[in-house]
Amino acid sequence: MENPGWYTQCTPHQAEIAQGRLESLLNFQTWVIDITGLPMSHASLLDEGTPATEAMTMCNNIQKNKKKTFIIVSNCHLQTIDICKTIADGFDLKAITSDLKDFDYSSGEEDGSG
């Protein structure tokens, strides 16, 4: 906390501490990559719905030409489920909700039945 760049504005129109939050998230993402050996990491400043859709679209971009169905756990916040389904429609993806205990991963079916 000794660095004022973490908690002061960086421009006159940015009166909140957003710049410090951005820097701390970048540091966190870098730390996660370093300790896990993963090629990327992501942390979002925004509400829970936006990072969920960012993760969904990131998976879609990584898994090109794969099944385009995403399962959303049914106990997520309703607004998160709605945001994911809305964004999925825009990307021509299928987003379904399911209780994890009801999903049959061995079936190979994208809707979890079978």
Q: pLDDT for 81-99, tens place per residue?
A: 999 999 999 888 899 999 8
Distance CA 67, CA 64 (A): 9
pLDDT for res 36: 92
pLDDT, mean of residues 72-85: 91
Band (pLDDT 50/70/90 cuts) for residue 114 is very low
Question: Amino acid identity, residue 68?
Answer: K
Backbone angles phi, psi at 97, to 5 degrees: -105, 145
Assess whether pLDDT exceeds 90 at residue 35: yes
pLDDT for res 52: 86
Closest by CA position to 20, among listed 9, 30, 29, 28: 9
Domains of the chain, residue spans: 1-43, 44-114
Assess whether pLDDT exceeds 60 at residue 26: yes
